[in-house]
């Protein structure tokens, strides 16, 4: 298993040099305590916890997995103790609201912790990770009584949370759900139904689990218009906050999975379980989007985590493994062969991993920063931030997980036969990474959301809101060494707008044109967005290199510039392949009759 080293140097570069988060937080009353010194101290302590406590459990947790019994689910050895240390350290409350026991730090800093825990041990990180969405949902949509009853314990980490959507017969199409809610005399509801694929739905790490559940109240309209949202605790809670009797929620089984084996993925039966309505009747899906969007950004982090860990493992191997000689002459003349790091194809894979990880990091933290701006109190700034998040969330979730999986595969390839062997840990990263393209909406679902609801559905406004940021960046003064990158970003931005218009025009006469273009459009968009962030990082790095006070950062900044050059010359051109596929239209996909699919 790769020995995880927290990438705190790059995190600090993105936060302080590129995004300048502290400048923003000094203008936001809620976050003025988030000074550079505080941010750095939090990152350093988080790195220590993740490197020393979580990373050593990654491989052993994968081997042991979770165990189901009638009494409950047992997590792998060390997981519950690690969670107790996590709670004792105050990590669950880092970015939660002060009034419910949180530390009131920015969303960005909470996401940094998610990245570090996720890279160290993704399966473990899912247990506290699901709680964040439950907390946000209750904060935004819960009643005062619900907030008082559940939020303090969720924020402290004493309790954990889940999201219960999927059922055996329906996944993405939630309008087909069958779980029903029956009104009780006391105003609560009895929930009846089965939910599947519930991450952290049952475990031994916390004394209670708060399930956020969608169901249909008796007599509600069919489809998505009749969905309501409920809070359903594993153990019922008395009015004074103490625990009462076990609720009628039962874990029937846990899934036997390809990866993330140490994460309990549960089948939950609600057998008349007592639940409480969150928000208005039949508006549950609207409320649930708070949880779903948080989970989608969290899943994008997974793509980043696996790219980072795969890079660290592949690089460590490539610098030590000897095989053949460099094409330009021996680089290790005293040894029998050269390290494989000298070979162009190995460098291609390593630089691809690195460009994916570092570019995704800037993208994700920009997105997280918009979540902090939403709480600024400035209506115009908040609206702009909300529009940016609406457009960029499906791109981040789908594009970064697709590239994260690619990076994980490169990790296996760099190690060759050893990459296929379990003891090296690289194949675990591939298995763990594969799920990210599926849950919280597949790549295809995110692509349809992007082109359908976000771009065409807004008449292009959400897209032009973001491209205005690109225009502003391109119009600024930049070091001459990165001028070509800025020109490329401007060119691709114009092409992106033209491509969007062309798809919309075709879709007006044939809606299948939007569906046929969707995934290629999302991938094209992703490469352009990453180019924007790589151009920013290159501009900042080039300017810093000219500053004598940054001489200690010389190697780091040079590496950043060289990785940027690799991105623009070797990865960004992929966007043109996606453009050509889009221009191929819907006909090649849709012309074959159903019967001919069966012809051998």
227 domain residue, yes or no: yes
Cα atoms found within 13 Å of the Cα of residue 70, Cβ hemisphere only? 0
* 511-523 pLDDT, tens digit each: 999 999 999 999 9
The per-residue pLDDT of the chain, averaged, comes to 96
Flag whether 598 is in a domain: no
Q: What is the pLDDT of residue 295?
A: 84
Is 141 among the domain residues? yes
Cα(7)–Cα(208) distance, integer angstroms: 33
Q: Is 14 part of any domain?
A: no
Beta strands in 165-261 (DSSP E): 180-183, 189-199, 208-217, 228-233, 235-237, 243-246, 249-254
292 and 275 part of one domain: no
Same-domain check for residues 456 and 434: no
Please calculate the CA angle 436-442-443 and round it to the nearest 5 degrees: 95
Residue 74: strand pairing partners: 67
Contacts 24+ apart (CB under 8 A), 498-503: 499/524, 499/579, 499/582, 500/455, 500/456, 500/460, 500/463, 501/460, 502/583, 503/451, 503/456, 503/582
Q: How confident is the model at residue 285 (pLDDT cuts 50, 70, 90)?
A: confident
Mean pLDDT along residues 466-483: 98
CATH code, 224:
2.40.110.20
- The rounded distance, in Å, linking the Cα atoms of 52 and 145 is 39
Give the pLDDT confidence of 573-586 residue by residue, as tens digits: 999 999 999 999 99
Residues 262, 144: one domain? yes
Element spanning 72, H or E = strand 72-74
Average pLDDT over residues 4-16: 98
Chosen domain end from 240, 261, 282: 282
Q: Looking at the domain assignment, is residue 9 inside a domain? A: no
Structural domain ending residue among the three candidates 414, 440, 466:
440
- Show the domain range for 392: 288-440
Among 547, 537, 488, 552, smallest CA distance to 19 is for 537
Q: What is the pLDDT of residue 274?
A: 98
Q: Residue 591 is encoded by which pair of tokens? A: 């012309």
Give the closest residue to 499 by CA, choosing from 463, 535, 475, 474. 463
Residues 256 and 234 reside in one and the same domain = yes
* Nearest Cα residue to 542 out of 484, 480, 487: 480
List, in order, residues 6 or more apart from 147 with CB less than 8 Å away: 100, 138, 139
**pLDDT tier at 293, thresholds 50, 70, 90:** confident
For range 169-184, the mean pLDDT: 92
Q: In the prediction, which pLDDT does 64 show?
A: 98
Whether 217 and 361 share a structural domain: no
Residue 101 lies in a domain: no
Count other Cβ atoms within 10 Å, centred on residue 62: 23
Residue 337 backbone phi and psi in degrees, to 5: -160, 175
Asked if residue 441 has pLDDT above 80, the reply is yes
CA 412 to CA 247: how far, in whole Å? 45
Domain count, the chain: 3
Distance, in Å, from the CA atom of 81 to the CA atom of 269, rounded to the nearest integer, reads 28
Give the predicted TM-score (pTM) of the model.
0.97
Residue 362 shares a structural domain with residue 430: yes
Residue 505 sits in the same domain as residue 413: no
What is the per-residue pLDDT for 159?
A: 98
27 lies in a domain? no
Q: Is the pLDDT of residue 102 over 90?
A: yes
Other CB atoms within 10 A of residue 262 CB = 26
- Angle (CA) 308-535-469 rounded to 5° is 110
Q: Does residue 319 sit in the same domain as residue 434?
A: yes
Looking at the fold, whether 370 and 330 belong to one and the same domain comes out as yes
Burial 390-409 (b: 16+ CB within 10 A, else e): bbbbbbbbbbbbbbbbbbbb
Of 115, 139, 406, 440, which one is the catalytic site residue? 440
Task: Write out the E strands in 134-281.
Answer: 159-164, 180-183, 189-199, 208-217, 228-233, 235-237, 243-246, 249-254, 265-278
Q: What is the average per-residue pLDDT within 364-384?
A: 91
Question: What pLDDT sits at residue 288?
Answer: 80
Domain boundary among 421, 440, 459: 440
**Do residues 268 and 296 both lie within one domain?**
no
Q: Which CATH number goes with the domain that contains 412? A: 1.20.140.10
440 is catalytic: yes
Query: Does one domain contain both 218 and 80?
Result: yes
Is the pLDDT at 289 greater than 80? The verdict is no
Is the domain of 296 the same as that of 276? Answer: no
Sign of CA dihedral 439, 444, 445, 450: positive
| Relative orientation angle of helices 461-475 and 512-545, to the nearest 10 degrees | 20
């Amino acid at each position: 298993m790769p020995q995880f080293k927290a990438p705190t140097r790059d995190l600090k570069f993105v936060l302080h040099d590129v995004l300048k988060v502290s400048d923003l937080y000094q203008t936001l009353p809620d976050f003025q305590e988030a000074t550079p010194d505080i941010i750095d101290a939090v990152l350093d302590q988080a790195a220590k916890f993740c490197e020393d406590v979580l990373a050593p459990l990654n491989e052993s947790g994968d081997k042991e997995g979770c165990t189901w019994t009638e009494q409950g689910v047992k997590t792998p050895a060390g997981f519950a103790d690690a969670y107790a240390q996590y709670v004792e350290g105050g990590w669950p409350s880092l970015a939660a609201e002060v009034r419910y026991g949180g530390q009131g730090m920015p969303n960005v800093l909470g996401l940094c912790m998610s990245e570090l825990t996720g890279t160290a041990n993704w399966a473990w990180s899912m247990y506290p990770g699901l709680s964040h969405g439950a907390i946000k949902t209750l904060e935004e949509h819960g009643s005062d009584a619900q907030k008082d009853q559940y939020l303090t314990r969720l924020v402290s980490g004493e309790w954990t949370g889940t999201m219960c959507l999927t059922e055996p017969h329906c996944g993405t199409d939630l309008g087909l759900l069958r779980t029903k809610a029956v009104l009780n005399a006391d105003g609560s509801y009895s929930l009846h139904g089965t939910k599947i694929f519930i991450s952290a739905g049952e475990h031994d790490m916390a004394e209670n689990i708060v399930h956020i559940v969608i169901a249909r109240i008796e007599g509600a309209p069919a489809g998505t218009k009749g969905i309501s949202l409920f809070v359903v605790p594993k153990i019922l809670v008395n009015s004074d906050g103490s625990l009462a009797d076990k609720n009628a929620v039962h874990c029937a089984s846990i899934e036997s999975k390809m990866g993330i084996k140490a994460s309990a993925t549960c089948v939950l039966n609600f057998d008349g379980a007592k639940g409480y309505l969150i928000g208005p009747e039949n508006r549950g899906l609207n409320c649930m989007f708070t949880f779903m969007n948080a989970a989608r950004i969290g899943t994008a982090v997974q793509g980043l985590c696996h790219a980072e860990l795969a890079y660290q493992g592949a690089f460590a191997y490539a610098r030590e493994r000897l095989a053949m000689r460099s094409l330009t002459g021996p680089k290790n003349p005293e040894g029998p062969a050269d390290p494989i790091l000298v070979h162009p194809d190995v460098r291609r894979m390593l630089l691809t991993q690195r460009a994916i990880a570092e570019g995704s990091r800037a993208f994700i933290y920009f997105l997280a920063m918009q979540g902090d701006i939403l709480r600024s109190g400035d209506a115009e700034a908040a609206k702009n931030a909300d529009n940016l998040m609406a457009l960029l969330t499906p791109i981040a979730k789908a594009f970064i997980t697709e590239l994260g999986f690619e990076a994980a595969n490169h990790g296996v390839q760099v190690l060759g036969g050893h990459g296929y062997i379990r003891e090296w840990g690289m194949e675990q990263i591939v298995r763990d990474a594969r799920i990210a393209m599926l849950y919280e909406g597949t790549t295809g679902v995110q692509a349809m959301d992007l082109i359908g609801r976000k771009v065409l559905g807004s008449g292009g406004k959400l897209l032009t809101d973001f491209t205005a940021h690109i225009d502003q960046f391109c119009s600024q003064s930049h070091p001459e060494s990165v001028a070509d990158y800025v020109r490329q970003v401007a060119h691709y931005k114009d092409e992106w707008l033209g491509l969007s218009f062309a798809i919309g025009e075709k879709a007006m006469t044939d809606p299948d044109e939007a569906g046929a273009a969707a995934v290629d459009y999302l991938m094209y968009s992703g490469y352009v967005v990453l180019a924007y962030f790589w151009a920013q990082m290159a501009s900042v790095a080039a300017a810093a290199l000219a500053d004598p006070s940054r001489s200690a950062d010389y190697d780091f900044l040079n590496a950043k510039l060289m990785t940027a050059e690799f991105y623009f010359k070797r990865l960004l051109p992929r966007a043109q392949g996606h453009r050509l596929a889009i221009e191929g239209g819907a006909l090649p996909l849709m012309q074959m009759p159903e019967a001919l699919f069966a012809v051998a």
